[in-house]
Amino acid sequence: PVQYLSNYRPYPFAVEETRLTFVLNPDDTEVRAELALSPVDQNADLVLDGGKGLRLIALGIDGQEPDPAHVSRDDERLTIAAAALPDGPFTLATTVRIDPSANTAFEGLYLSGGMFCTQCEAEGFRHITFYPDRPDVMAPFRVRIHSDLPVLLSNGNPVETRQGFAEWHDPWPKPAYLFALVAGDLRAISDAFQTASGRDVALNVWVRPGDETRAGFAMESLIKSMKWDEQVYGREYDLDVFNIVAVDDFNMGAMENKGLNIFNSKLVLASPETATDLDYERIEAVIAHEYFHNWTGNRITCRDWFQLCLKEGLTVFRDQQFTSDMRSAPVKRIADVQTLRARQFREDQGPLAHPVRPDHYEEINNFYTATVYEKGAEVIGMLKRLVGDEGYARALDLYFDRHDGDAATIEDWLKVFEDATGRDLTQFKRWYTDAGTPHLTMTEEWDGKGGLVLHFEQQTPPTPGQDHKPPRVIPIATGLIGPNGDEVAATRVLEMTEARQSFSFDGLGARPVVSVLRGFSAPVVLHRQIDDATRAFLLAHDTDPFSRWEAGRELALSALTALAQGQDAGDDFIGSVARLAAEDATDPAFRALCLNLPGEEEIATRLSSLGHVPDPDAIHAARDGLATRLAQANHELLDRLYQDMAVDGPYSPDAQPAAKRSLRIAALGLLNRIDGGDRAEVLFGTAGNMTERMAALACLIRRGRGQAALDAMLDEFGDNRLVMDKWFSVQVMAAPSDDAAAIAERLSQRQDFDWKNPNRFRALLGGLAANHAGFHHAGGAGYAFTADWLMRVDAVNPQIAARMSTAFETWPRYDENRQQLVREQLQRVAGLTDISRNLREMVSRMLEAK
Ligand code: ARG
Ligand code: ZN
């Protein structure tokens, strides 16, 4: 059944306290729950969520078993009729038995490598016990755990710990989705933090024995996050302990359970030999993200799941700010825009497009998307730009003051901005309610005597269920660069509110070059009349680093789209990007970003938004050709960079050495096209860090000489899951398009392709989907292979199946032949007996497109 935002009703009971007792056994765990309830509406039945997997053993109201005639149960709920309930407060006690060892969906209580753990967001708690499993029902929790396992953890503060037993108390009222329990043979690395107001907090990162040496960076990241949130947002931690646990089987990245964050082990464990610079940066960001949720998510949570972006958009925005402060702000911004375009624009362009705040869904797990998270963060960035840094700070203070302890809505969020700044946000709200990426067209009018008028037009294409899109507020950060390369007008935010609107600049000496949408001030597709020479000028002179990079990007994309359509292009790009790469005073990370060509997926998206049908083979050939020309024309420069950017001494994941490595690798990737792979072979054998080794490995595979390196890696790291995930994915990602599906197929037959592990599954299937020309091979083998696995994994883990199905989300933009091939596969999947709600919803939304 479809859930609608407009159907929201408050829960008719308050939960004053939740007391849980677990007797843990792998295949037979007993869960006793006592809920102290008070009726808000005297006539309401008591409806509790609880799935088929709960074996109900006992049920009591104030110690009495209710008349069975008043109790009913279906596949999803337990209902106790109002007639069987006392008028005032009462205690409901249930005892259920569950089987964690059979839980392959990793939702609720499950086992991972002998360790008990939980994942309850969004609706996992209902697989543990009967409960009002909705975010607006909040209660303090008391949890007792009986088990012989040495480490027993839950939320809040420890009350008692002895052999075989632990009790935890979380005084902060929370919804069930923030509940967590962990039990296992774990080791901690520990530290301490004193908050600004003097509270001593014990910090632990819990890992499996043997992994302790790889947990230090996570701990450092946690401490940095705690400090940063105090300094920048004035937010302090509020319990005596903060625990992080690394788990090998985890459906997503990590989870912000109160006082007990649970992480996918790939986002905790890192050592120079096993993790890349990018892994380190992600660990730092996700540790921060989950920590920041303590205020934006936990202390203030969501009223219902339609409001998911309230906590996720804001928390992503906060973790982006954090990374900008820890590392390079321009480089972070560029990386975030790249991700947004690669994932969110892609989503918005196809059948799965939805608003940042959706108004209906069938399965909420399908809405943990780039739109809710990344576009949700962009919307906050726009708000901040519109109200200014001070206005933003005042609004946030008011938000924390006014809503601490609440389950809030987007309306509440916008209201604090209105009250703190006096601005009317009625029109701005469309960014939350309307799906789709606006297209913004700019034209220039120069009067020849110092006046420049910029004309803008906005238009948002229809998305499923939303045909008509009224104009939005678009903040357009704009500056002007004079003909000699100096900035003649500093950044000014043009606030567009109409479908068409003009802005003028006066008193200019000569016609300037417009630097528009600086910092990517709004998540829109920009169209402007501009030639390659002007783009090259901006790449050389723009004072806004994002716009500078963007000019290079546009130069590359204009060349690549022309080449993909059989035209001749690229010399301007090659010349100007080489000049930039040679600028020794410029941040190497920035130079690397400019040197890396847009990926094939991005080229396809661009062609499609220009109204063309992307041809994956032509795109692949165009990109290959341009990169090779770039390498040939700058062979000496690239070789110099490759040598200069070598980092000596012990490995450090800090921004500066990582930046040098990123430029070194960019140079290597280009040189690899003309040196036959010789440099990569040397580097693979000598590099002391995973960043360079993985880059070298990918290069060798691309030259068709990766086997020895792959064998060496298997030898060295065959027992390290995280490294083996990389080993699987690089082989399909770097495979020639003709062979990608066959290679994936062969790898899938290996003993160590443990497909029930989400990371391993994603490494292989996600690796194939990331090989654009390979996945979209005209023979259809990539599509068929993916569909086969979706059907197989769906029976075991619906969330993973549904997530992976987005590999198909762009299908309507390809040619008839490919469309037909995908349609057949999607129909085959749709016909699966016992298909999950998760996968069914995704496939039917995708099929409705055409
Ligand atoms: N709240 C978690 C985070 O963003 C993610 C939970 C994802 N849950 C899900 N069912 N997909 O930090
Ligand atoms: Zn989050």
Each residue's pLDDT tens digit, 572-613: 999 999 999 999 999 999 999 999 999 999 999 999 989 999
Residue 273 CB neighbours (<10 A): 15
Q: What sections of 340-488 are H helices per DSSP?
A: 346-349, 370, 376-403, 410-421, 430-433
Residues bordering ligand 2, an ion, CB closer than 5 Å: 312, 315
Which ligand has the nearest atom to the CA of 313? 2
| CA 585 / ligand 2 centre spacing (Å) | 37
Which ligand has the nearest atom to the CA of 256? 1
Please state the atom number of ligand 1 nearest to the C-alpha of residue 124. Answer: 10
Residue 684 CB neighbours (<10 A): 22
Please state the atom number of ligand 1 nearest to the C-alpha of residue 122. Answer: 10
User: Is 290 tagged catalytic?
Assistant: yes
Cα angle at 516 between 510 and 521, to 5 degrees? 150
- DSSP readout, 613-639? PP-HHHHHHHHHHHHHHHHHHTHHHHH
Instruction: Return the half-sphere exposure (C-beta side, CA atoms, 13 A cut-off) of residue 546.
Output: 20
| CA 250 / ligand 2 centre spacing (Å) | 15
Which ligand has the nearest atom to the CA of 263? 1
- Helix or strand (DSSP H, E) at 193: strand 187-194
| CA 121 / ligand 1 centre spacing (Å) | 6
| Span 146-167, average pLDDT | 98
Each residue's pLDDT tens digit, 6-65: 999 999 999 999 999 999 999 999 999 999 999 999 999 999 999 999 999 999 999 999
Q: Which residue has the tokens 């996050």?
A: 225
| CA 311 / ligand 2 centre spacing (Å) | 7
Torsion of CA 343, 345, 350, 352, to 10 degrees: 60
Each residue's pLDDT tens digit, 341-386: 999 999 999 999 999 999 999 999 999 999 999 999 999 999 999 9
Q: Whose CA is nearest to atom 9 of ligand 1?
A: 365
Predicted confidence band of residue 849 (pLDDT cuts 50, 70, 90): confident
Q: Which of 121, 174, 257, 315 to mutate to test the pocket of ligand 1 (most atoms within 8 A of CB)?
A: 121
How far is the CA of 639 from the CAs of 375, 597, 688, in angstroms?
39, 18, 20
Q: Are strands 487-496 and 525-528 parallel, antiparallel or unpaired?
A: unpaired
Q: Whose CA is nearest to atom 8 of ligand 1?
A: 121
Q: Is the full-model pTM beyond 0.90?
A: yes
Q: What sections of 507-544 are H helices per DSSP?
A: 532-541
Residue 444 CB neighbours (<10 A): 16
- Helix or strand (DSSP H, E) at 356: none
Task: Tell me what pLDDT residue 52 has.
Answer: 94
| CA 306 / ligand 2 centre spacing (Å) | 15
Each residue's pLDDT tens digit, 289-329: 999 999 999 999 999 999 999 999 999 999 999 999 999 99
| CA 396 / ligand 2 centre spacing (Å) | 18
Task: Tell me what pLDDT residue 453 has.
Answer: 98
CA distance 148 to 786: 42
Which ligand has the nearest atom to the CA of 314? 2
Q: Which of 126, 133, 252 to mutate to test the pocket of ligand 1 (most atoms within 8 A of CB)?
A: 252
Each residue's pLDDT tens digit, 784-842: 999 999 999 999 999 999 999 999 999 999 999 999 999 999 999 999 999 999 999 99
* Chain-centroid distance, C-alpha 483: 41
CA distance 203 to 244: 8
Q: Decide: helix, strand or coil at residue 94.
A: strand
Please state the atom number of ligand 1 nearest to the C-alpha of residue 289. Answer: 12
| CA 54 / ligand 1 centre spacing (Å) | 24
Q: Show the tokens assigned to 706.
A: 């990766």
Whether the per-residue pLDDT at 766 is higher than 90: the answer is: yes
Annotated catalytic residue within 121, 290, 550, 602: 290
CA distance 168 to 727: 41
Q: Across the strands, what pairs with 452?
A: 446, 505
Burial of 739 (0-12, 13-18, 19+ CB in 10 A): middle
Which ligand has the nearest atom to the CA of 305? 1
| CA 177 / ligand 2 centre spacing (Å) | 13
- Nearest residue to 291 (alpha-carbon basis) of 354, 350, 244: 244
Please state the atom number of ligand 1 nearest to the C-alpha of residue 312. Answer: 4
Whether the per-residue pLDDT at 850 is higher than 70: the answer is: no
Each residue's pLDDT tens digit, 232-282: 999 999 999 999 999 999 999 999 999 999 999 999 999 999 999 999 999
For all residues of the chain together, what is the average pLDDT?
Answer: 98
Please state the atom number of ligand 1 nearest to the C-alpha of residue 373. Answer: 4
With a CB cutoff of 8 Å and minimum separation 6, the contacts of 798 are 105, 836, 837, 838, 839
CA distance 211 to 696: 26
Q: Are strands 301-302 and 407-408 parallel, antiparallel or unpaired?
A: parallel
Q: Which of 255, 261, 316 to mutate to test the pocket of ligand 1 (most atoms within 8 A of CB)?
A: 255
Q: Whose CA is nearest to atom 5 of ligand 1?
A: 255
Whether the per-residue pLDDT at 333 is higher than 70: the answer is: yes
Residue 3 backbone dihedrals phi, psi, to 5 degrees: -100, 140
Which ligand has the nearest atom to the CA of 758? 1
With a CB cutoff of 8 Å and minimum separation 6, the contacts of 72 are 78, 79, 81
Q: Are strands 260-264 and 254-255 parallel, antiparallel or unpaired?
A: antiparallel
> Ligand 1 — pocket residues by CB below 6 A?
121-122, 252, 254-256, 289-290, 312, 365, 368
Q: Whose CA is nearest to atom 12 of ligand 1?
A: 255
CA distance 765 to 621: 23
| CA 801 / ligand 2 centre spacing (Å) | 21
CA distance 251 to 240: 29
| CA 296 / ligand 2 centre spacing (Å) | 9
